[in-house]
Amino acid sequence: MRAVIIGAVEGTRVAFRCLAAAAGWQLAGVVTLPLALAGRHSDFVDLAPDAEAAGCPVLRVGNANHPDALAAIADLAPDYLFVIGWSQLCGERLRTIAPQRVIGFHPAPLPRLRGRGVIPWTILLDEPITASTLFMIDAGTDSGPVLAQHFFHVAPDETAASLYAKHMAALARMMPPLLGELLAGTAEPREQDIRCATWAARRRPEDGEIDWTKPTAEVWRRIRACGDPYPGARTMLGGERIIIADAQPVALPGHLAALEGQVVERQENSFTVRCGDGGGVRVTAWRWSRSDPPALHSALGLQPRISS
């Protein structure tokens, strides 16, 4: 069985390696981004080393629906297309290259959370359980029949990085048995129940802006949701941007006389910021123009109210 895989992220690499190791499957080609467009994905992975090791041709395109790309993919004569980690919808002409045999991956329990940015949204919505899903791609958005699904709990302190890793492990677990079923013709696609469908809107880096007037739990949730491999939760100090990469919630009984967003404690390797409910977050990993923490009593936010 000949397969072409389209994508440019860690999930693409996981699926590629499963295909490369699967008996009865041949990797006819990998379609991925030019290196100049790597910034399109914050979790971009260059698949060329894996493809070279597997003796698999690499086709670098910016748009898989472009006529030249469609012709090149069709020349690879795939029985199945696996579109995993690609930022564009599959147009009709792309899908007809392998009719009824285009498979996608979604890090959510379809039909719940169809759409974009679903790992951050899973944490922001405080979802207790999620799932990884392999499904047939149709003309809709993440709406095709489900082929495999692996459910797992979302930890109370889950971060984008830890949730991402869980999805990659689930994908690696689901792919081999599904490939065996596809090869044998025994896979049983299950239609999604539209009554249970929800949709996740696209997220942009600016959506990670921290509102320090919010309760501690909400601020901490945003920090966890927006971290690696995504651009990160962010705040301002004067005219400088600070990326908050890791933090923990803390009680601040001794800092009631402080403003939301104010740095109330400062150590060499951390600083603590007061939130809107009187609690705070102790920031233990951050990125900005300096190596040291912000000054004690600094006011963080879009419009600092006191000088640092």
95-146 pLDDT tens trace: 999 999 999 999 999 999 999 999 999 999 999 999 999 999 999 999 999 9
The answer to whether residues 75 and 186 belong to one domain is yes
Residue 38 has pLDDT above 70, yes or no: yes
Mean pLDDT throughout 21-31?
97
Mean pLDDT throughout 201-218?
95
Mean pLDDT throughout 260-272?
96
Quick: pLDDT tens for 283-308. 999 999 988 999 999 999 965 444 44
- pLDDT at position 303: 52
The answer to whether residues 222 and 155 belong to one domain is no
- What's the half-sphere exposure (Cβ side, CA atoms, 13 Å) at 234? 18
- pLDDT at position 247: 97
Question: What are the percentages of helix, strand and coil residues in the chain, rounded to 5?
Answer: 30, 25, 45
Q: Give domain status of residue 307, yes or no.
A: no
The answer to whether residues 214 and 71 belong to one domain is no
The answer to whether residues 55 and 195 belong to one domain is yes
pLDDT exceeding 70 applies to what percent of the chain?
Answer: 98
d(CA 112, CA 211): 27
**How far is CA 187 from its chain centroid?**
27
- Residue 150 is part of a domain; what is its CATH number? 3.40.50.170
Q: Which residue has the tokens 């791609």?
A: 137
Residue of 241, 222, 220 whose CA lies nearest to 233: 222
To 10 degrees, the CA torsion angle through 182, 185, 188, 191?
80
Q: Which residue has the tokens 């944490």?
A: 123
The answer to whether residues 138 and 233 belong to one domain is no
Which residue blocks in 185-286 are alpha helix, DSSP H? 216-226
- pLDDT at position 29: 97
Residue of 235, 193, 176 whose CA lies nearest to 211: 235
- pLDDT at position 291: 86
**How far is CA 236 from its chain centroid?**
25
Angle value at C-alpha 174, between 118 and 155, nearest 5 degrees: 45
Residue 195 has pLDDT above 80, yes or no: yes
Q: Give domain status of residue 226, yes or no.
A: yes
State the average pLDDT for the chain: 95
Quick: pLDDT tens for 41-84. 989 999 999 999 999 999 999 999 999 999 999 999 999 999 99
Mean pLDDT throughout 235-259?
95
Query: Are 110 and 33 spatial neighbours (Cβ–Cβ below 8 Å)?
Result: no
Residue 87 has pLDDT above 90, yes or no: no
Domain that holds residue 144: 2-200
d(CA 80, CA 127): 33
Query: Are 87 and 115 spatial neighbours (Cβ–Cβ below 8 Å)?
Result: no
The answer to whether residues 13 and 135 belong to one domain is yes
Angle value at C-alpha 14, between 8 and 16, nearest 5 degrees: 75
Q: Give domain status of residue 254, yes or no.
A: yes
The answer to whether residues 181 and 251 belong to one domain is no
Does the pTM exceed 0.75? Answer: yes
- pLDDT at position 304: 43
Strand partners, 59: 31
d(CA 213, CA 201): 24
